[in-house]
Amino acid sequence: MKPFRSLLFVPGHKRSWIDKALASEADAIIIDLEDSVPEPDKALARTNALDALRAHSGDKGILIRPNALDTVHFGADIAETTHGSLTGYLLPKLFSRDDVVRFDALVTAAEIMHQVPRGTVELIPSLETAASISKVDEILAGPRVGGVMAAAAKDADVSREVGFSWTPEGTETLYLRSKVVLAARAAGLRSIVLGLWQEVTNIDGLRRFAADNHGLGYTGQVLIHPTHAPVANESYGLSAATRDYYEGLVKAFEDGQRQGHGAVSYRGDHIDLAHANHARQALAFAGIG
């Protein structure tokens, strides 16, 4: 899955909200069929999600968070919403690689049933249980896995499971967040996202949170409010200055290579192939070059 800078959650039973989310500045939306949808509205949420997928023709990614495997809803969630326009399923409440395998089997059956080319729909594990975080390497080696979401939310499933007390600085989750980034990179994943910042009006806090996690290696962030999308896009994207720096670095290195040099000086820094490759990757992730 390509890296999205901003992924906006929207409750599936609110059809007008889905349309607003699609019109927002978020790179992708996540239509929620799980926690934000009341029990009587689960079927309506599935219908709304499928309607949105059928009508979608843009570049914005659409993901769906189905209900967990231990509910009565997950089978219908997958069977009724698998579609060629669906980017992937954000998998909740995982405990082991076996859970990913079970979801994969359901998605494969749904793709066949709906004549969607096999392998179209990706799986994005959401690591919100202690078991899933401890087994992250196994889970990310599961079938169809195209990205991962780490969780560091305030007073949510992950804090209850792990037992940490949330702070804005995030020191209590630094190890957890770092562990997920390392496992995702080792698995070759390009989309490594984090959720989420819950203080809707604290934009300065959101900006610090996003900058810290981008620095740690995350490529994007899951959001709960459309006003957060521009901040995430800026924080997880390349600034004009950074883009200029990396483009100049690559040019300086390639000019040096043509002159027979393996290393050159660029803006006072010693650079070689490793630095050029880092710059190329950063530019590629940003869709440049």
CATH architecture of the domain 6-236 equals Alpha-Beta Barrel (3.20)
pLDDT value of residue 249: 98
Confidence band for 288, pLDDT divided at 50, 70 and 90: low
Segment 71-117, tens digit of pLDDT: 999 999 999 999 999 999 999 999 999 999 999 999 999 999 999 99
Q: pLDDT tens, 184-204?
A: 999 999 999 998 899 999 999
Closest by CA to 167, choosing from 197, 195, 142, 137, is 197
* 134 has a pLDDT exceeding 60: yes
The pTM of this model reads: 0.92
Share of the chain above pLDDT 90, in %: 88
Q: What is residue 132's predicted lDDT score, i.e. its pLDDT?
A: 96
pLDDT tens per residue, range 220-240: 999 999 999 999 999 999 989
Specify the pLDDT at position 188. 96
Whole-angstrom distance, CA of residue 226 vs CA of residue 8: 7
pLDDT at 113: 97
* Share of residues in the chain with pLDDT > 70 (%): 99
pLDDT surpassing 80 at residue 141: yes
pLDDT tier for residue 60 given thresholds of 50, 70 and 90: very high
pLDDT at 289 over 80: no
pLDDT, position 130: 94
pLDDT in tens, 157-167: 888 989 999 89
Which residue shows structure tokens 């079927």? 43
Cα distances (angstroms) measured from residue 132 to each of 94, 97, 103, 189, 205: 6, 8, 15, 17, 28
**Confidence band, pLDDT 50/70/90 cuts, at residue 68:** very high
- What pLDDT, on a 0 to 100 scale, did the predictor assign at position 155? 80
Mean per-residue pLDDT of the chain:
96
Residue 97, both tokens: 């690689």
Q: What is d(CA 93, CA 251) in angstroms, rounded to the nearest whole number?
A: 46
39: which residues sit within 8 A by CB, 6+ positions away?
none
Grade residue 40 by pLDDT with cuts at 50, 70 and 90.
Answer: very high
Span 56-69, mean pLDDT?
95
* Domain ranges across the chain: 6-236, 240-285
